[in-house]
Structure 1
Amino acid sequence: MIKILLVDDHAVVRMGLKVLLNAVENMEVVGEASEGNEGIKLANELKPDVVLMDLSMPHGKDGLTATTELKKQLPNISILILTMHDDEEYLFRAIQAGASGCVLKSAPHHELIEAIKSVCNGNAYLHPAATKRLMEQYLESVRQEGSDHYQLLSDREVEVLTLIAKGYSNKEIAEQLIISVKTVETHKSNLMEKLQMRTRPELVAFALKKGLIGYGI
């Protein structure tokens, strides 16, 4: 069962999402919040698998600030940003804040459901129209930063980085490389420290830059 926390300042939106998601097999909305501070509090209490976080909440803490603080408190939680803005700046800022992905509020229901499943499995998710655009912008921003850091990675860390960027879970990586999940987690932690990165989308962008994977992934 995927436990979901809704954080949105519109009660009608929360009600609609709750009805939609509770009707999906293996999904359950376990809590609702109308602003960021309340969302952080409930997330710590309820320990959901996925937080659906509205980007723009005029009262209380906004979605980006709440996402940043929540990832510091619960690093393993998956946060999916809901936004009306089809704009690179908002997408880039959401990923910098630690979000696992972004979905437009205008997206069809099936896309939202697939996005929730994807981030719950540890993958990144961006709505299709934004993926290439965001990657190109991010690649340009990191063209200098991190280039030399790649030389610090061991061959095994490069293998782990490649598989992470392709969307494999820690367990799947362990099976492919015939190592333990704990060892995979250690390699992941080491390479993120060496590359000075915090999120999976950053690793995907870096892997694209280095030619480890292609845009088709």
Structure 2
Amino acid sequence: MKVVLVDDHPLFRFGLRAALESSSDIAVVGEAADLDSAVAATLATAADVVLMDLELGTPGASGIEATRRLAAEAPTVAVLVLTMSKDDDHLLAAVRAGARGYLVKGAGREEVLHAVRTAAAGGAVFCAGVAPRVTQLLRGTGTARNPEVLPQLTAREREVLDHVARGKANHRIAQQLGLSEKTVRNHVSHILDKMQAASRAELVARARAAGLGEDVDD
């Protein structure tokens, strides 16, 4: 089985490669740290499975978007999410983007090997405790807020959007999140793009309809 690793931490990729290649039936044929490289490496190597992190460190270029791109451009490839995130928004977004499995980092070697083999064989695999939540979320009984809008955003983008929905200016958001004002502007630009909002006012209205901006602060 040919596997591509997508994670922006080189040391994590190194350890994961070693764990996978300790098995004679798995070969790591490519590595990537960002969205475009992930898609390019997958297409170039004709990979069977992509192990995908969700936070790739680039605003607007999350593992969710990479998974969505791969589902469109390489539909036979199995994307298996391997991430630190345990929240329902990411879980539901990954499934809806086309991921065939969801593991949390910290999973043991045997669990990861089993997941890769299962995904390559066309099955779906989720770590302990996740499968029941997937069923609940897809039935609409889970805790994820506004699955139609929020899943396309990264965790940081949702955090920025929450502050935007409270009517805060970029410089104030930057102060409270410990970011530069330019970074906040970039996040807002990506959010406008992803939500296809024509203005900041429309963005606020849609964010509040999604349940964001409800907490009041000074």
Q: For the residues of structure 2 that align with 1:59 and 1:95, how far apart are their CA atoms?
A: 21
Shift of 1:140: 2.9
Write the letter of the residue equivalent to 2:2: K
What residue is the counterpart of 1:78 in the other structure? 78
Aligned 1:142-153 pairs, distance under 5 A: none
Q: For the residues of structure 2 that align with 1:22 and 1:109, how far apart are their CA atoms?
A: 11
Write the letter of the residue equivalent to 1:102: Y
Shift of 1:137: 2.1
Is residue 10 of structure 1 aligned with residue 17 of structure 2?
A: no
Q: How many residues align?
A: 140
What residue is the counterpart of 1:53 in the other structure? 52
Judge conservation of contact 1:88–1:130 (CA < 8 Å) in 2.
no
What residue is the counterpart of 2:193 in the other structure? none
Q: For the residues of structure 1 that align with 2:20 and 2:137, how far apart are their CA atoms?
A: 33
Gaps of 5+ in 2: 142-218
Write the letter of the residue equivalent to 1:4: V
What residue is the counterpart of 2:33 in the other structure? 34
User: What TM-score does the superposition give when structure 2 sets the normalisation length?
Assistant: 0.62
Write the letter of the residue equivalent to 1:24: S
Deviations 1:42-91 (A, max 9, x none): 11111100000111111372100011011100111100011111222211
What residue is the counterpart of 1:117 in the other structure? 117
SS in 1 for 2:123: coil
What residue is the counterpart of 2:24 in the other structure? 25
Judge conservation of contact 1:102–1:126 (CA < 8 Å) in 2.
yes
Gaps of 5+ in 1: 142-217
What residue is the counterpart of 1:194 in the other structure? none
Aligned 1:164-179 pairs, distance under 5 A: none
SS in 2 for 1:135: helix
What residue is the counterpart of 1:103 in the other structure? 103
Write the letter of the residue equivalent to 1:122: G
Deviations 1:18-38 (A, max 9, x none): 111111120010111111110
Q: For the residues of structure 1 that align with 2:136 and 2:46, how far apart are their CA atoms?
A: 34
Runs of 4+ in 1 over 2 A off after TM superposition: none
SS in 2 for 1:128: coil
Write the letter of the residue equivalent to 2:73: Q
Judge conservation of contact 1:104–1:127 (CA < 8 Å) in 2.
yes
Q: For the residues of structure 2 that align with 1:139 and 1:25, how far apart are their CA atoms?
A: 40
Q: For the residues of structure 1 that align with 2:16 and 2:122, how far apart are their CA atoms?
A: 22
SS in 2 for 1:59: coil
Write the letter of the residue equivalent to 1:3: K
Q: For the residues of structure 1 that align with 2:78 and 2:136, how far apart are their CA atoms?
A: 24
What residue is the counterpart of 2:63 in the other structure? 63
Write the letter of the residue equivalent to 1:137: L
